[in-house]
Structure 1
Amino acid sequence: MSVRTVGVEEEFLLIDPVSGRPRAVGGAVLRIAEADDGTETELTGELHREQLETATVPCNSLDELGRELRRARAEAAEAARAVGVELVALATSPLAVEPTLSPSVRYREMRERFGLTVDEELTCGCHVHVAVDSDAEGVTALDGIRPWLAPLLALSANSPFWQGTASGYASFRSQVWSRWPSAGPNEPFGSPAGYRATVEAILGSNTVLDEGMLYFDARLSRLHPTVEIRVADVCLDPDDAVLVAALTRALVETAIRADGPPPPVRTEVLRLASWRAGRSGIDGELLAPRTWRPAPAAEVLGRLVDHVRPALEDAGDLGTVRELLDAVLRRGTGATRQRTVLTQKGELRAVVADAVAG
């Protein structure tokens, strides 16, 4: 049987290899990439000039996706080195930084409206796109995956430091991101008409600038026939990004196949689940969907795999997902590695250097 294609967008920091601090050279890196006829990767700028975004092509298999992620990272890193910086997969900068707004009328308007939220928003996420055949399928998926998005955040946690300080969170990016007025979990939409009515109500409030600022945890893509799941940190290890993408695709497929609406859960509870996932990652307890009681992260993630098992089996992904999940549970997430390096080396610059080394 055919499987839904999946693609991944990843955001990265551009780091000075000596100081370990982000540098505002995103425009220069993009010009290098555009001048290189051999570069296949789609590179784009972001809100701040200290970062860059890559995107894979839509992929059918996890092997293909893994190759695409590594190729995109390698080509972006080569372009970055051409202007004297390193590309690093860290969801926040361990060292203190004052971000530099990218030159854009839209970004200037965002700064005027949202102030310090824009000035401090130097974070890097991982966005997974899963193909759907219609808006009806897409909304069914959005409504069905809601309970399981927090465990995906926990799996990807890779931002324990903020402005030179240990944040106490495995994913402090999720805390920073939550300051946007349209960010986070949402109520079920019920239908494409319900989704559109929600979008129109938000736009009609004149709070966000445009539809591009609908920062739901998951949304219908404006540009592609996909649902776009946006909860994850950029992953230090590309294998973790493959795992997040595989589980995301299986969640979408499982939701679309389901008979009837998903079990109800209030958005307030989902916010609690997201907070706990960002706080402890996979090193503590998460809220278990359905019971909404705390349980060890490994147990909750095991329930997630059980929930989507038929979809994983049909895609041929079950074995790979089990291997990748076992690996991250053994070694920890990017947040675990960052904290370990700080304990061993005693300085945050070593954390950045370790990320550069891969």
Structure 2
Amino acid sequence: MRSVGVEEELLLVDRESGEPRAMSHAVMAVAARGADEDDVFEAELHREQLEFATRPHEKMVDLAQDIASWRRTAADHAERLGGAAAALATSPLPVNPTVGSGTRHQWLAEEFGLTTQEQLTCGCHVHVFVESDEEGVGVLNRIRPWLPVLVALSANSPFWQGKDSGYSSYRNRVWGRWPSAGPVELFDDAAAYHRQVEGMVETGVLRDKGMVYFDARLSAAHPTVEVRVADVCLEPSTTVLLAMLVRGLVETAARAWRAGEPPAEHPVALLRLATWRASRSGLDDQLVSPELMRPVPARSAVDSLLAHVRPALEDAGDFEEASALASRLLRDGNGTRLQREAFRRTGSLRDVVAECVRRTHSGV
């Protein structure tokens, strides 16, 4: 069974006001005193956010425990400093974020200007083991049309600078401003993939390979395919669902690659439109069918994804749980729907943040 690991970025906020608070360095200092935390937490581009990475796991119950544990640990550290950690992909309240002081972060601020300043967004990256770069590229070629459905499922960023953006995942729109972000074309093989990455760096626009922000890419640090399209999910159970589905997609694609089945040849232009639709609509309107590239109800697109990966999910023992979690998400709503419902109830974005802080640490 393929191992899977998750990286989550959390928004650090003031416990009383709910406004984002530049406290990642202080939280990291607290974390450094704890056992086994040196390699878990990492500062991000802005000091109002904090990233953690789970260990790779084969069993989803172990991954779920890791996610819950590190969310709780991050919250405990923030609370000691008068703050809170929230699984919010964008801040509902207005913010003027603080770029980190590191050399890399300062280079980004100087080179990309307002794009860097406005990147206070929190995502969720899922890593799944692959046996080789060749298998990995075979996977990347075959998962492309399914990634927008993951955007819709994870959508958790309706508010931007104190206003409703009109999008379910506005983080996706903000992230798309980076010049290397988004879907990519098919690659003939791993050598072709690496040539493109190297060519992009050689333009001088990107600082290094770490700035190749494809929707899904070969990890530079691990033997994994890294899927990067998702918002950080409001509830940890949604992160677990996301991990199940990504592992199912990787395994399904790897089997098709080994069998010599060709990937769908959807052009990048259509994939970009499918991603836009998912970021706009989430689970509350139509999506673009991954197979037909035509509008379908969101439930139909999710059902198609589950059917596509069902054999892999069943082999991993995940199908019943994934189906139940997806059904609950369609019924009760993703993070975006829950944020908007909280705002309709209270009329207060501060209360929205407080509700999201509570849900961040809910049960898995």
Q: TM range, normalised to the smaller chain?
A: over 0.9
Q: CA deviation at 1:190?
A: 2.1
Question: Aligned equivalents of 1:234 and 1:37: distance in 2?
Answer: 26
Q: CA deviation at 1:84?
A: 1.3
User: Which residues of 2 match residues 186-265 of structure 1 at below 5 A?
Assistant: 186-258=184-256, 259=259, 260-265=261-266
Contact 1:219/1:227 (CA < 8 Å) preserved in 2? yes
Aligned partner of 1:52 in structure 2 is: 50
Q: Distance in 2 between matches of 1:171 and 1:190?
A: 32
1:133 match: secondary structure: coil
Determine the structure 1 residue equivalent to 2:28. Answer: 30
Which is worse superposed, 254-263 or 138-147?
254-263
| C-alpha distance in 2 between matches for 1:289 and 1:36 | 45
**CA distance in 2 between partners of 1:29 and 1:86 (Å):** 10
Q: 8 Å contact 1:41–1:75 — kept in the other structure? A: no
Mean alpha-carbon deviation: is it higher for 88-97 or for 204-213?
A: 204-213
Q: For 2:133 and 2:6, locate their aligned partners in 1 and report how far apart those are by CA, in whole Å.
A: 20
* Counterpart for residue 41 of structure 2: 43
Identity of aligned residues (%): 52
Gaps of 5+ in 2: 360-364
The reply on whether 1:181 has 2:182 as its aligned counterpart is no
AA matched with 1:59: H
1:39 to 1:112, Cα distance in 2 relative to 1, 3 A: closer
Tell me by how many angstroms 1:289 deviates: 1.4
For residues 240 and 18 of structure 1, what CA distance do their matches in structure 2 show?
27
Match of 2:137 in 1: 139
Aligned residue runs from structure 1 range 160-179, under 5 A: 160-179=158-177
- Structure-2 separation of matches of 1:271 and 1:71: 35
Establish whether residue 153 from structure 1 lines up as the match of residue 154 from structure 2. Answer: no
Larger deviation, residues 173-182 vs 59-68: 59-68
| Mapping 1:1-358, distance limit 5 Å | 3-37=1-35, 39=37, 42-258=40-256, 259=259, 260-358=261-359
- The count of aligned residue pairs is 356
Q: Distance in 1 between matches of 2:322 and 2:71?
A: 22
SS at match of 1:248: helix
Contact 2:128 2:224 in 1 (8 A): yes
TM-score, normalised on structure 1? 0.98
Is the contact made by 1:66 and 1:238 (CA closer than 8 Å) also made in structure 2?
A: yes
Q: TM-score, normalised by structure 2?
A: 0.96
The amino acid of 1:271's aligned partner reads R
Give the distance between the partners of 1:292 and 1:19, measured in 2 at CA. 44
Aligned residue in 1 for 2:362: none
Q: Deviations over 1:95-120 (max 9, x none)?
A: 00000011111111111110000011
Letter paired with 1:262 = P
Distance in 2 between residues matched to 1:40 and 1:157, nearest whole Å: 30
Could you give the per-residue CA deviations for residues 63-82 of structure 1, whole angstroms, max 9, x where no partner exists?
11111110110111111112
Contact kept? 1:15, 1:22, Cα under 8 Å: yes
- SS of the equivalent of 2:157 reads coil
Q: 3-state DSSP class of the match of 1:308? A: helix
Shift of 1:46: 0.1
CA distance in 2, matches of 1:335, 1:106: 32
- How far the C-alpha of 1:40 sits from its partner, in A, is 7.8
CA distance in 2, matches of 1:41, 1:246: 24
Q: For the residues of structure 1 that align with 2:344 and 2:309, how far apart are their CA atoms? A: 37
Deviation at residue 174 of structure 1 after TM alignment: 0.2
Q: Deviations over 1:174-216 (max 9, x none)?
A: 0000000000000011211010111011011111111111000
Task: Give 1:284 shift.
Answer: 0.6
For residue 39 of structure 1, report the CA deviation from its aligned partner: 4.6
What is the one-letter code of the residue matched to 1:183?
A
Mapped contact 1:41–1:72 kept (Cα < 8 A): no
8 Å Cα contact 2:154-2:233 kept in structure 1: yes
User: What CA RMSD, in Å, does the superposition of the two structures yield over aligned residues?
Assistant: 1.0
Moved over 6 A (4+): none
Whether the 8 Å CA contact 1:6–1:130 is kept in 2: the answer is: yes
CA contact (8 A) 2:31 2:38 kept: no
